Structure 1
């Protein structure tokens, strides 16, 4: 029978300490513990932060499709109310209508307006969502605020601005620029494909089409550029290898 050191329990552990390796960070064992002949604690290096999993194509498409369905529902209600919701758009330089910046992307001037925005909204929104949840919300918030403030500050007097095109321009510029800033060749390749399909939309930041808010497009593009700079210049968490 093995003789245990004085004061130790039958398992060889001190009666007042429950030793569970690895020890908590910063834990200092009592003097003389563990005694000679017992396993010594092994320092454990802190784990690198895990990068959050990015949404898959299916989940991103479902999520952005849900936002698009919400816009169609809002437009249906607006149709049944004879366009009454259109008055909640952005009125330039009206302080009391500044909160409309947040709701204007959900409103459209008829189903034709919404149909024109649906495909680029779904495609660019899905690609932006696949870049990461934080990246998506950052790009979307910057695009909403940028496009709304652009229309509020620069829009012509006695006009109403509504529609998701400013958000679409923000997503487009975000996808085009973030790869160049981050120097990621995969993102640059994706940007080239996006530009091939939607690059012609960039002319919308200039006053070329009457009745179209180039101010909202320009503001959304600036917001997307800001989001790309924040995301591309931020160090990414290192993936944990086992």
Structure 2
């Protein structure tokens, strides 16, 4: 006679599901940001590799590789440390409600930041760093609140604007020749456009 199987209650199942979702996001974000630190330590330990040359070089065919590699390249410990907080906080918020949201924001920010730096950056300069991703995540979260009009998304958008609004404004202005304002504004626009295109597609389907 077959033994009866035990079914978990709804509350326990819900807690287990939430725990799995939290764990998967924590692991992904740790690996994502950790990989940037790993590349930084490798670059610092082996300077002869000159990894930073793989950043975005404006209007150079070889410089297009920086669209993919630039977020993993940083000039100094202060540089990567300054980007880490934004990557962790804003990246975490982009992971909800679905992990696909994080990848959408990441791809949009990388393409926007890289292409804008390549098109409008100063000739013979090299653009590196993950700040374009930070700006892209912020743009994605703000735009999601605006376009979806969902209560939680609006709350997150307002919190992002309150916490990062001044930094976003200063970062897209050409005030410091050592900062890539081109990648900042490109990342911001990339994050916004991803949400805008998704919103348009959803409206057509409805």
**TM norm structure 1:** 0.71
Q: How does 1:52-201 map to 2 (within 5 A)?
A: 56-82=21-47, 84-201=50-167
Provide the C-alpha distance between the structure 1 equivalents of 2:139 and 2:201, rounded to a whole number of angstroms: 18
**Which of the pair is proportionally richer in helix?**
2
Provide the C-alpha distance between the structure 1 equivalents of 2:65 and 2:190, rounded to a whole number of angstroms: 18
Q: Which residue of 1 aligns with 2:182?
A: 215
Q: Which residue of 1 aligns with 2:6?
A: none
Shift of 1:211: 0.5
Provide the C-alpha distance between the structure 2 equivalents of 1:131 and 1:199, rounded to a whole number of angstroms: 23
Shift of 1:231: 3.1
Q: Is the 8 A contact 2:55 2:65 kept in 1?
A: no
Give deviations 1:85-139, integer Å, cap 9, x for gaps.
1111111100122122111111110111000000011110111012312222111
Shift of 1:57: 4.3
Counterpart secondary structure, 2:122: coil
Q: How does 1:26-41 map to 2 (within 5 A)?
A: none
Shift of 1:58: 4.4
Give deviations 1:132-176, integer Å, cap 9, x for gaps.
122221111111011000110100011110000001101101101
Counterpart secondary structure, 2:114: helix
Instruction: Count residues with an aligned counterpart.
Output: 184
- Consecutive unaligned residues of structure 2, counting only runs of 5 or more, are 1-16
Counterpart secondary structure, 2:176: coil
Q: Which runs of 4+ in 1 moved over 6 A?
A: none
Shift of 1:210: 2.6
RMSD after superposition: 1.9
Does 2:194 correspond to 1:227? yes
- Consecutive unaligned residues of structure 1, counting only runs of 5 or more, are 1-52, 237-242
Provide the C-alpha distance between the structure 2 equivalents of 1:113 and 1:107, rounded to a whole number of angstroms: 10
Provide the C-alpha distance between the structure 1 equivalents of 2:65 and 2:79, rounded to a whole number of angstroms: 22
CA gap 1:117/1:162 in 2 versus in 1, 3 angstroms: same
Shift of 1:201: 2.0
Give deviations 1:180-199, integer Å, cap 9, x for gaps.
11121210011111222112
**TM norm structure 2:** 0.83
Counterpart secondary structure, 1:219: helix
Shift of 1:213: 0.3
